[in-house]
């Protein structure tokens, strides 16, 4: 009994071992069988694909030919209608036919036959004797059916070529036959003009009749191999013609599919590599398990730091960064590790300074602590404090280790404190406006007191009667008048400053006007580190304008340009003012351009840019550009804007100038704020 049980176990174990060997063998046989089946299947699929492609291309060519013939049929029908209506004389008929032949190169000629079948007009001077019997038969069939038909292709009498396919359009006037209009197509022209060259290079194209006789064919790339063929009927009225294509491609060969053998060899090599890799993985797993705990502990410590860590080798290549540093600069570690200078977090305007500092580091002159500026991926600059020291490994220096602190918040607090001080100073300046009021009162008090004195003296003279000598009285009244004019001038100046007034037009030199405003513009630009450049053409003509109002426009446009460049790179902060003749204007005019290199104007903002009370500034009222446009238009000019090809915006306005040129050369000034 025990022996039978042992034999059963042995048999069961043997079957299990057998299946362990058979299953991989069966899988291997299936794998090789699939690889052997692939060439045959690929060959079959390629043949099917070629046949389907030939059918699709043939259908496309047939539709192209039929479409062009339909267009020509419509043109012939319209010509026939005009002929029947009597709207064409012989000259006009020839001109219409010449245009039709020039636009449809597949057509050879057009012939106008009268009711007796004689040629009345022809595009090439042919006679009725040049029509073949097949063409005459087609014309008779079209006359009988009262509709246009094609005739069987045939050459002219006495010739063997070319084969002509004639299209007969019968003409009926009042129910009576009045002649025919015949359009002749050389069949070879149909194939040459209407079949694309790329299709003709890969296929033999032939026109065959109902008896499968070849009428004409085009063999641009050579005769077809009769492996892939397709026939498509042209479906022309009056004649049975078909388009037959015979591909130049043969049966796909097995040679390209022998690449499967390479796949098999690569698969076997891959299997061997997997086995070797499996052994190596088992050996490494033990070592990695021991290191994993140490690495995870160190990683947890480094990831919990708020201070950025950066390690560099002796060549300056980054070898390690922690998450805090990646978060500072906005770049993942994969884009930083292995990177050599220039670094992506270096501001472009300070590359030279950073490169010099890096050269000193390579020379061993490391600054233990320094404050500098880094750049995030979005272009934002932020100040950092860098501590750097040599990185030692077993007593040997392998690079430099640096810790980086983001001190943006500290600098923000300092900036806030500085702004508070500036606001206090501004408040102090506002308080000084009271002094202006007292000064104004003092200026008015003096002329008013003088007027009172002079008028009192005049009254005293009058109280004693009219003096025999009126000179003292005239002198007193004249001086009182002068003081009254002085007071009026003071009041008019204040009123003109605070109240809207009508423009006071005078001859203005825009170049000199911009020069006089340059100190005010520089005061605005210096705060934002913007350089100012003024370019003025020589001998600019004078313009009739209000200089005060134009100054307001120029100050507004330059201030907007300076403010638009506050957030761009320092090397791009450049404002140009160009004064030149407006050569695009219909009348003489002087054009002023204010060109900045700022952030530009988005499309949704540009639509409302000149609208009242629309502003992109937090503290803006949205009236500046609207007022500027009103001022320019009141001078007969236009204010427009466009994108600067170099980045930023170009504001331009032009003022009409009927004056003669100023005989003065306006210099070009450049200001570096």
Give which of 470, 632, 625, 635 is closest to 557, Cα–Cα. 625
Q: Torsion-angle region of residue 198: left (phi > 0), alpha (psi -120 to 50) or beta?
A: alpha
Strand, coil or helix: 12 = helix
DSSP 14-43: HHHHHHHHHHHHHHHHHHHHHHHHHHHHHH
pTM, two decimals, is: 0.39
CA-to-CA distance for 152 and 213, rounded, in angstroms? Answer: 12
Asked if 391 and 539 sit in the same domain, the reply is no
* Cα distance between the two ends of the chain: 110
Q: Which residue has the tokens 């050569």?
A: 583
Strand, coil or helix: 419 = helix
Contact status, residue 536 vs residue 580, Cβ threshold 8 Å: yes
Strand, coil or helix: 538 = coil
Asked if 333 and 224 sit in the same domain, the reply is no
φ, ψ at 301 (rounded to 5°): -65, -45
Asked if 572 and 438 sit in the same domain, the reply is no
Can you give the pLDDT at residue 373? 86
Asked if 184 and 86 sit in the same domain, the reply is yes
φ, ψ at 263 (rounded to 5°): -65, -40
Can you give the pLDDT at residue 260? 56
Asked if 370 and 443 sit in the same domain, the reply is no
Asked if 548 and 663 sit in the same domain, the reply is yes
Can you give the pLDDT at residue 311? 86
Can you give the pLDDT at residue 579? 92
Helices vs strands, H then E, count in the chain: 16, 22
Q: CATH number, domain at 313?
A: 3.30.450.20
Can you give the pLDDT at residue 622? 46
pLDDT averaged per 10 residues, the chain (length 673): 52 60 69 69 78 88 90 90 87 90 89 88 82 88 91 87 90 88 90 86 88 87 84 89 86 58 68 75 81 77 78 85 86 86 84 82 77 86 86 82 85 74 46 41 56 73 65 71 61 45 72 80 76 88 82 83 84 89 81 89 76 58 66 83 87 79 44 46
Strand, coil or helix: 107 = coil
Asked if 565 and 492 sit in the same domain, the reply is no
DSSP state of 622: S
**Domain range for residue 275?**
271-302
Asked if 295 and 312 sit in the same domain, the reply is no
Asked if 449 and 537 sit in the same domain, the reply is no
Domains: count for the chain: 5
CA-to-CA distance for 240 and 153, rounded, in angstroms? Answer: 10
Q: Is residue 521 part of a domain?
A: yes
- Secondary structure of 253-306 in HEC code, one letter for each residue: CCCHHHHHHHHHHHHHHHHHHHHHHHHHHHHHHHHHHHHHHHHHHHHHHHHCCC
């Amino acid at each position: 009994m025990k022996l039978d049980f042992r034999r059963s176990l042995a048999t069961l174990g043997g079957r299990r071992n057998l299946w362990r060997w058979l299953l991989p063998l069966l899988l291997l046989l299936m794998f090789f069988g699939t690889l052997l089946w692939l060439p045959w299947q690929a060959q079959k699929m390629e043949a099917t694909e070629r046949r389907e492609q030939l059918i699709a291309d043939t259908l496309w060519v047939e539709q192209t030919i039929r479409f062009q013939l339909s267009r020509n049929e419509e043109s012939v029908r319209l010509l026939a209608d005009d002929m029947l209506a009597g709207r064409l004389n012989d000259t006009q008929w020839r001109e219409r036919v010449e245009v039709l032949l020039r636009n449809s190169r597949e057509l050879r000629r057009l012939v106008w036959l009268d009711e007796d079948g004689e040629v009345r007009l022809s595009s090439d001077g042919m006679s009725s004797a040049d029509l073949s019997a097949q063409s005459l038969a087609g014309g008779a069939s079209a006359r009988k059916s009262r509709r246009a038909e094609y005739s069987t292709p045939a050459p002219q009498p006495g010739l063997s070529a070319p084969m002509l396919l004639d299209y007969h359009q019968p003409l009926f006037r009042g129910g009576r036959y009045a002649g025919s209009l015949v359009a002749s197509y050389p069949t070879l022209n149909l194939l040459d003009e209407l079949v694309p060259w790329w299709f003709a290079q890969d296929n033999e194209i032939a026109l065959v009749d109902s008896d499968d006789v070849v009428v004409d064919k085009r063999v641009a790339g050579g005769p077809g191999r009769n492996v892939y063929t397709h026939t498509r009927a042209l479906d022309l009225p009056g004649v049975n013609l078909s388009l037959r294509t015979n591909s130049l491609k043969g049966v796909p060969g097995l040679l390209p599919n022998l690449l499967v053998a390479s796949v098999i060899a690569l698969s076997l090599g891959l299997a061997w590599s997997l086995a070797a890799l499996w052994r190596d993985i088992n050996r490494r797993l033990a070592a990695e398990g021991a290191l994993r705990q140490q690495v995870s502990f160190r990683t947890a410590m480094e990831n919990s730091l708020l201070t950025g860590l950066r390690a560099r080798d002796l060549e300056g290549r980054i070898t390690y960064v922690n998450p805090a540093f990646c978060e500072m600069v906005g770049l993942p570690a994969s884009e930083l590790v292995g990177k050599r200078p220039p670094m992506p977090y270096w501001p472009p305007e300070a590359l030279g300074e950073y490169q010099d500092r890096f050269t000193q580091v390579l020379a061993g002159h490391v600054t233990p602590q320094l404050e500098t500026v880094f750049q995030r991926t979005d272009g934002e600059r932020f100040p950092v404090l860098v501590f750097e020291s040599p990185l030692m490994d077993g007593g040997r220096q392998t690079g430099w280790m640096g810790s980086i602190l983001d001190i943006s918040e500290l600098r923000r607090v300092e900036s806030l404190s500085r702004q508070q001080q500036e606001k206090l100073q501004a408040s102090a300046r506002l308080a000084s406006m009271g002094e202006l009021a007292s000064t104004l009162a003092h200026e008015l008090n003096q002329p008013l007191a003088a007027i009172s004195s002079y008028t009192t003296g005049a009254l005293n003279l009058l109280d004693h009667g009219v003096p025999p000598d009126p000179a003292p009285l005239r002198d007193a009244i004249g001086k009182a008048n002068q003081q009254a004019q002085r007071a009026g001038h003071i009041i008019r100046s204040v009123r003109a400053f605070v109240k809207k007034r009508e423009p006071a037009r005078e001859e203005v030199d825009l170049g000199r006007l911009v020069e006089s405003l340059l100190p005010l513009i520089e005061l605005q630009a210096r705060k934002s580190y913007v350089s100012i450049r003024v370019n003025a053409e020589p001998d600019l003509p004078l313009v009739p304008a209000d200089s005060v109002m134009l100054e307001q426009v120029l100050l507004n446009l330059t201030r907007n340009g300076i403010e638009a460049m506050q957030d761009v790179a320092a090397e791009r902060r450049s404002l140009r003012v160009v004064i030149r003749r407006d050569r695009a204007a219909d009348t003489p005019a002087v054009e002023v351009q204010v060109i900045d290199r700022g952030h530009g104007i988005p499309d949704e903002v540009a639509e409302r840019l000149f609208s009242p009370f629309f502003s992109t500034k937090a503290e803006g009222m949205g009236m500046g550009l609207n007022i500027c446009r009103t001022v320019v238009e009141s001078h007969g000019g236009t204010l427009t804007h466009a994108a600067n090809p170099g980045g930023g915006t170009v504001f331009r306005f032009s003022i009409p100038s009927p004056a003669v040129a100023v005989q003065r050369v306006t210099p070009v000034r450049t200001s570096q704020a």
